Homo-oligomer: A and B are copies of this chain.
Amino acid sequence: MADIIHRAGIKAAVAKVYAALATVEGVAGWWSREASGVSSPGNVIELIFNTPTGEVLGVIKFEVTSMIPDKQVVWRFISGPDEWVGTHASFDLYQDGDYTIVLFAHRHWAEPVEFMAHCSTKWATFLMSLKALVETGQGHPSPDDFKIDNWN
């Protein structure tokens, strides 16, 4: 088993960061514009990732497994890349001075494969997209996401 972990600090109230993680509209603002579903425990959110020219790169579905207002959001991936199925992404929040700290983890990868390394870097850029969304009102969700390598 292997985990991806990240830490981001966002200059905003924790409620604003929580809203960007705990609502479909929020997720659409930093991860993928094509987000649909219901963001509440037991329900499912679907994200479609397109190329800038509109071809589908991939579809990810996850169940929301925990939502604790201003503290935590946890997702369990149901479909998407094979390596993701059954893994969890969690966002734990706390306030530190002017910042809301986001402790991110994408846990329970079977092996630390090259695709996990790709996803680790890509998650960092999406967390910076979340930071930009909350701090400036403008994130960089797919298909305008930052391209880190030849895989995306």
Chain A residues proximal to chain B, CB less than 8 Å: 2-9, 96-99, 101, 103-105, 112, 114, 116-118, 120-121, 124-125, 127-128, 131, 146, 148-151
State the CA gap A4–B117 with chains docked (Å).
8
Partner of A148, one of B5, B7, B96: B7
Chain B min CB distance to A3 (Å): 7
Task: Write out the residue numbers on chain B whose beta carbons fall within 8 Å of the beta carbon of A4.
Answer: 120
If A3-B112, A112-B3 touch, does A121 touch B8 (CB 8 Å cutoff)? yes
Point out which of A7, A97, A104 has the most chain B C-beta atoms below 10 A from its C-beta.
Answer: A7
Task: Write out the residue numbers on chain B whose beta carbons fall within 8 Å of the beta carbon of A128.
Answer: 121, 125, 146, 148
Task: Write out the residue numbers on chain B whose beta carbons fall within 8 Å of the beta carbon of A103.
Answer: 114, 117
